[in-house]
Amino acid sequence: MLQRCNKNIAFLLLLSFCFALSTLYAQQEEPKAENQEKAQAESTEKTDEPENQEAAKEEDAVQELTPEEKEALEKLGEESRAYESNKDSEKAKVENGGWCVAWADDVSETDVARGIVSVAGSISVGNPGPFYAWIENLADRTIASLGHSAASKMPGYIKNQAKELARDIIKAAVQGKGAKEAFKNFDTVDFKAGAIKYSGTNYQKIGGKKITLSKTWGIKPYVAFRWRSSSRDFSSSSEPDLRTISMLGIAYKNGTRVSIPGNTAIYMVIDYKRRHISNESVHSKLFRSFSGVVSNSMANSLPLGNALDGNSILFKYSNRDTVYFFDGRVKHPILNRGAFERCNFDWGKIQTRNDINAPDGSPID
Least trusted range by pLDDT, from 56-65, 91-100, 247-256, 304-313:
56-65
- Higher-confidence position of 238 and 179: 179
For residue range 262-296, list pLDDT tens digits in order: 899 999 988 778 999 999 999 999 999 999 998 87
The three-class DSSP label of residue 165 is helix
- pLDDT(338) > 70: yes
Main-chain phi, psi angles of 182, to 5 degrees: -105, 140
The pLDDT of residue 56 is 37
Give the CA angle between residues 146, 150, 155 to the nearest 5°: 125
The pLDDT of residue 240 is 38
Least trusted range by pLDDT, from 28-42, 65-79, 330-344:
28-42
The pLDDT of residue 65 is 56
pLDDT band at 239 (very low <50, low <70, confident <90, very high): very low
Q: Is 225 exposed, middle or buried (0-12, 13-18, 19+ CB in 10 A)?
A: buried
158: DSSP letter: H
Percent of the chain past pLDDT 70, that is, above it, reads: 54
Outline where DSSP puts E strands in 19-172: 82-85, 100-103, 107-108, 116-117, 122-123
Q: Is 41 exposed, middle or buried (0-12, 13-18, 19+ CB in 10 A)?
A: exposed
Q: How many other C-beta atoms are found inside a 10 Å radius of the C-beta of residue 230?
A: 13
The pLDDT of residue 352 is 96
Q: What's the rounded Cα separation, in Å, for the pair 45 and 263?
A: 84
- pLDDT(123) > 50: no
- Higher-confidence position of 225 and 92: 92
pLDDT band at 254 (very low <50, low <70, confident <90, very high): confident
Q: What b/e sequence results for 175-198 when a residue is b if at least 16 CB atoms lie within 10 Å of its CB, and e otherwise? A: beeebeebbbbbbbbbbbbbbbbb
Is there a contact between 325 and 361 (Cβ–Cβ < 8 Å)?
no
353 to 134, 309, 315, 318, 360: CA distances (angstroms): 41, 18, 6, 7, 15
Mean per-residue pLDDT of the chain: 71
- 119's CB contacts (< 8 A; 6+ apart) are 104, 105, 107, 134
For residue range 186-202, list pLDDT tens digits in order: 767 788 888 888 888 88
